Amino acid sequence: MNPMKEVRIEAVTVNMGVGKSGEELDKAKTILQQITGSKPVKTRAKVKQPKWDIRPGLEIGVKVTLRGSKAEEFLRKALSAKDNVLLRKNFDRNGNFGFGIKEHIELPGVKYDPKLGIVGFDVIVSLGRKGYRIKRRKYKKKKVGQKHRVSKEEAIQFVKEKFNVKVE
């Protein structure tokens, strides 16, 4: 097989949307640091939602981006919390996929801490191939060609083979 056509994990982003700043956000940050082993970054609101007291610039969530072996290791744990089952609608047409976990204590090896409570989070996985750097580089940016993009079917096949996941 052509090594340029090999599908690989570009990044795994773990996101917790709390909806408000303060103590809840700090608890979510601590939990995210415990389950991923990386330092979380706070995310800010982009739009105004008066019903929920949200305004642009307000810190309302935390996220961590994992790459390489750390990303693969965390993804295996997260998929085992979902019983290695994903839905076809979890995949987009560009080959990326995402899913949510309702309670962080569903992850293997994570214990419940009454001080922190229970929160859910989202896992977003970006798949790519060698050569995808051309769309992000600073000098002479180009589009990734249609034949070189990861399709939905290729992403499903990759997840089935690499992680032994059943896609319904």
DSSP assignment string, 48-103: -BGGGTB-TT-EEEEEEEE-HHHHHHHHHHHHHHTTTEE-GGGB-TTS-EEEEES-
SS3 166: strand
What local confidence, expressed as pLDDT, does residue 51 receive? 86
Mean pLDDT, rounded, for 97-121: 90
What local confidence, expressed as pLDDT, does residue 54 receive? 84
Q: pLDDT (tens digit, 9 = 90+) per residue, 37-95?
A: 999 999 998 998 888 888 898 888 999 999 999 999 999 999 999 999 999 999 999 98
Alpha-carbon distance of 127 to 151, in angstroms, equals 10
Across the chain, mean pLDDT equals 92
Query: Which pTM does this prediction carry?
Result: 0.89
Fold of 3-167: 50s Ribosomal Protein L5; Chain: A, (3.30.1440)
Least confident of 35-44, 110-119, 136-145: 110-119
- The helix or strand, by DSSP H or E, that contains position 75, with its residue range, turns out to be helix 68-81
Residue 16 bridge partners (DSSP): 62
